[in-house]
Chain A
Amino acid sequence: MTQYVVLSAILFTIGCVGVLTRRNAIVVFMCVELMLNACNLAFVAFAKQHGNLDGQVAAFFVMVVAAAEVVVGLAIIMTIFRTRRSASVDDASLLKY
């Protein structure tokens, strides 16, 4: 069971580095999704380890929240892109102008 948790840690780390290095807001978002998925893997692995389903329910809730987050986040990216013609996180350094 350790190998699943190690894989989850590796995926989480990769997602973390991606959020720090990538500039395109959509790719940053994908890396956040990668981190959420890595956490889900740990949840499901520990559910099997401990023999109860609470971990799977937690993973299910993470998925629901991730879906809501993606919907709102992509809408915000679309709005920023419409006003600035750019999806780069560096360009959106000022909130209003």
Chain B
Amino acid sequence: MTFWILAPVMVAAALGILFVRKAVHAALLLAVVMTSLAVLYAVLEAPFLFAVQIIVYTGAILMLFLFVLMLVGVDASDSVVETIRGQRVLAALGGLLLGALLVVALSQVSLGTAVGLESANEGGNIQQLANILFSRYVFAFEATSALLITAAIGAMVLAHRERLTPKEGQAALAARRMRDYAETGKHPGPLPAPGVYARHNAVDTPALLPDGTASELSVNRVLAARGTVRSAPALADDIDEVRKQLGVDPTEMPERSGKSSAPATTTEDVK
């Protein structure tokens, strides 16, 4: 029963990996497949592998995938251009053939009734697995320890970047900033914080300069590249919208400077 619920979900999610544009969506679909696989392991009397599948695959490996996706750029999506002409059609054809071959061949085989793991799991699945792992497969187990430490060192060596120039100290940084100021007129101080002179202090709200224009330097350039920066006039619309929802007539509110009716209502509020 569990199988017939999970199998369509898994196949649909796996097919989704083929068709989604963004790598993040593929990672999430892969998480669906892996969690469903863990449940199938539990059904197949493998409680240890059920836990390992969730902890190692969905917990560690997929998190690593998402972490690398964050570093590479979440928005990086596949190009649609084919480098080799007809590659996709041929790959789909080959895949269909392979799938048909495997499924037809497997349906020809009669596996008979399953023996079941009741006797093999006697005394606990983990204990029995440990018995086998540390007797018959002990050399393979030791070899995996060598593999793991090699992988860890290899990843560190690959991810490490040697510093080519000496690190810039505080004095050198200050000197460079002052030189920039003298030569190009670039402001030596820190960048303005978002929303300081605006109505909101959210990060996507640019700070307002004394002359009322928005300062582009105050907003993160990632937000600017995505185009999610809010403009100062639009913020005033937001306030009007909220007041409308609260049932307050926007023209009656006294704090809004620049409204013609503002001085008249102020006196009423004072009373």
Contacts A11-B10, A13-B102, A53-B117; is A23 near B68 (CB within 8 Å)?
no
Residues of B within 8 A of A47 (CB): 44, 46, 117
B57 touches A37 (CB 8 A): yes
B18 touches A75 (CB 8 A): no
B111 touches A57 (CB 8 A): no
Chain A interface size range: 35 or more
Residues of B within 8 A of A52 (CB): 120
Question: 10 tightest CB-CB pairs across the interface, nearest first?
Answer: A51-B115, A17-B95, A68-B151, A20-B91, A13-B99, A9-B102, A75-B158, A75-B155, A14-B14, A71-B155
CB closest chain-B residue, reference A86: B76
The CA-CA distance from A48 to B147 in the complex, in Å, is 29
Binding site for A on B (CB under 8 A): 3, 7, 10-11, 14-15, 17-18, 23, 26-27, 30, 33-34, 37, 40-41, 44-46, 48-49, 52-53, 56-57, 60-61, 64-65, 68-69, 71-72, 76-79, 83, 87-88, 91-92, 94-95, 98-99, 102-103, 106-107, 109, 111, 114-117, 119-121, 125, 128-129, 132-133, 137, 140, 144, 147-148, 150-152, 154-155, 158-159, 161
The CA-CA distance from A21 to B84 in the complex, in Å, is 10
Contacts A56-B129, A90-B83; is A34 near B33 (CB within 8 Å)?
yes
A61 touches B144 (CB 8 A): yes
A14 touches B95 (CB 8 A): yes
In the assembled complex, 9 residue pairs joining A and B whose CB atoms fall closer than 8 Å, in A order, are: A2-B106, A14-B95, A20-B91, A57-B133, A65-B147, A67-B60, A71-B64, A74-B65, A82-B161
Out of B91, B92, B114, which one reaches A48, CB within 8 Å?
Answer: B114
Binding site for B on A (CB under 8 A): 1-7, 9-18, 20-24, 26-27, 29-31, 33-34, 37, 40-41, 44-45, 47-54, 56-57, 59-61, 63-72, 74-79, 81-82, 87-88, 90
A51 touches B103 (CB 8 A): no
Specify the main secondary structure of chain A where it touches its partner. helix
B30 touches A30 (CB 8 A): yes
Specify the main secondary structure of chain B where it touches its partner. helix
The CA-CA distance from A66 to B144 in the complex, in Å, is 11
The CA-CA distance from A60 to B48 in the complex, in Å, is 9
Out of B30, B61, B132, which one reaches A67, CB within 8 Å?
Answer: B61
Residues of B within 8 A of A16 (CB): 94-95, 98
Q: Which of A15, A53, A76 has the most CB of B within 10 A?
A: A53
Out of B37, B46, B68, B151, which one reaches A72, CB within 8 Å?
Answer: B151
Residues of A within 8 A of B18 (CB): 14, 17-18, 21-22
